[in-house]
Structure 1
Amino acid sequence: MPALAIILLIVGVVLLFTGLFVEAVKFLLWIGIVILVIAIIMALLRYIRRGTRT
């Protein structure tokens, strides 16, 4: 599960920068933002679950 979040984060950042630098593929900016949000939510859920297992 952590590997999936890291992969999503990397893909999101790459798509975000691609969307910022290349105006022709501006929709990649929005895809990058969505993927980053999903990765952040997954990281927060993992952190919360880890904290409640003590």
Structure 2
Amino acid sequence: MASDGDPRVLLAMNLVLSTAFASVVVWGLSYLDLASFTVETVAGMALVVFLVTYLAVLR
């Protein structure tokens, strides 16, 4: 019998991985001079990635 796991762990992992992915994407965009690498930009991108992942996978 498989366990689904603790949803808090899944949310924490999603938050950490979304933030890491967003920082890499924003860094790449700033390298191409398409966006500025700021905390606000990374946080906004992380929120978008987090929500898309949450809606696609966890629901």
TM-score range, shorter chain: 0.3 to 0.5
Structure with greater proportional helix content: 1
With the length of structure 1 as denominator, give the TM-score of the two structures.
Answer: 0.47
